[in-house]
Amino acid sequence: MTSTLTPTLHRSRELLLPAMRSAVAQLDPASHAAASYHLGWTDAVGAPSVGGGKALRPALALLSAELAGASAETAIPGAVAVELVHNFSLLHDDVMDGDTQRRHRATVWSLWGEPCAILTGDALLVLAQQVLLDSGSRHAPAAARLLLLAATQELVRGQVEDLAFETRSSVSVKECVRMAAGKTAALLSASTSIGAVLAGAPHQVVSALSAYGQHLGAAFQLVDDLLGIWGDPAVTGKPVLSDLRSKKKTLPVSWVLAADDASAHELAAWYTDSTVDEAGLHRAAELVEAGGGRGWATAEAARRMRQAELCLDTVELPPGPRAELLALGRASCPPPWTTSSPNPCPATRRCGPCGWSTAWTGSAAPCWSSCTTRSETASR
């Protein structure tokens, strides 16, 4: 999601890449070839290339060790493991979503078939466990439980719910938020705490970092959902209006569909229509914006980022790594859309139960976050 590599990402990639290559080299030849292509190390014929993702999750893992007072190197097995789990999920996501492009290149399944992508993802998931347990750290079992039992289980749950939502006529905002907590936030939460676990940090530090990652993950998904509709394909690597093309019920869409108004009714009708054409896609995007979905998601992303940063205030952390974590978190959830975002909190429709009517001031504070009643929001 970050458009450029921050110094922290540069540093983490330099630490990560040799360990990642060493780990992936342990795979069988077919899985190694497919994984190397997916990770951007080779092209489709196996020739060396330069590419790949930003490696945000490994950077968070390395920082979490430093936030616990240890060296970044302490967390390298954890950083490799979270990146392997993340790419396991991407390989499977591409198959489930039918995406033929990722990072401006053909996806593994579109080149070599669905079985290849599925098995390569499975191989990366098993490898993540192997890397942790073979690290020699006495804290490796605890890290493996955090990542491979808790976080991966939540990730799978979120993905299952995400797929199920595509065939449902309605999905509440509450359900969509819970789905995102598993699909996206669980692994980011594990990433921001696994280095501290490997460093043997106190429970309070691990808990604070985990909570930071959970809120960061929620903001990250909201931003991703916004980019899935209004993002620049040159940045996202996906077609314009990509989430609408697949008729995903993302967070901004669910916000609009939960209302009983003209935008919600027209958008719901579009979702039930099997026709997908350019005019309809652009009209659907207009409805999501007119119904407040874009503005609400923008504001809610900002609110969750503030909550994430407040979590770090509950414990004493080294100032240097703390500043790096804050900068990296903010860079991972950039707000390029705010200049054209509408009022996310039309009080007459969104907050009738509590009477909240403060005008939108651009402070990125959605009305329901300040509402003490929240009965309408809770029902969504």
pLDDT at 239: 77
User: Do 125 and 115 fall within a single domain?
Assistant: yes
Return the amino acid letter for 71. Answer: S
**What is the domain extent for residue 370?**
345-380
CA angle, 311 then 132 then 221, to 5°: 40
Q: How many domains does the chain have?
A: 2
User: Do 357 and 288 fall within a single domain?
Assistant: no
SS3 201: coil
User: Do 308 and 201 fall within a single domain?
Assistant: yes
pLDDT at 4: 58
Find out whether 144 and 135 touch, Cβ atoms under 8 Å: no
What does the alpha-carbon distance between residue 146 and residue 193 come to, in Å, rounded to a whole number?
9
Average pLDDT over residues 270-282: 92
User: Do 210 and 358 fall within a single domain?
Assistant: no
CATH number at residue 210: 1.10.600.10
What does the alpha-carbon distance between residue 114 and residue 360 come to, in Å, rounded to a whole number?
47
User: Do 214 and 351 fall within a single domain?
Assistant: no
> Got the DSSP string for 256-317?
HHTS-SHHHHHHHHHHH-----HHHHHHHHHHHHHTTHHHHHHHHHHHHHHHHHHHGGGS--
User: Do 26 and 126 fall within a single domain?
Assistant: yes
What does the alpha-carbon distance between residue 49 and residue 44 come to, in Å, rounded to a whole number?
10
Please tell me the least confidently modeled range out of 8-12, 147-151, 200-204, 294-298.
147-151
Distances (CA, A) of 127 to 13, 25, 26, 66, 351: 19, 10, 8, 25, 48
pLDDT at 377: 38
User: Do 21 and 116 fall within a single domain?
Assistant: yes
pLDDT at 116 over 70: yes
Q: Determine the straight-line distance between the first and last CA of the chain, rounded to whole angstroms.
A: 28
Please tell me the least confidently modeled range out of 187-201, 213-227, 362-376.
362-376
pLDDT at 111: 98
The answer to whether residue 2 is domain-embedded is no
Q: What is the DSSP letter of 181?
A: I
> Got the DSSP string for 99-141?
--EETTEE-HHHHH-HHHHHHHHHHHHHHHHHHHHTS--TTHH
Q: Token pair 């039930």 is at which residue?
A: 272
User: Do 82 and 141 fall within a single domain?
Assistant: yes
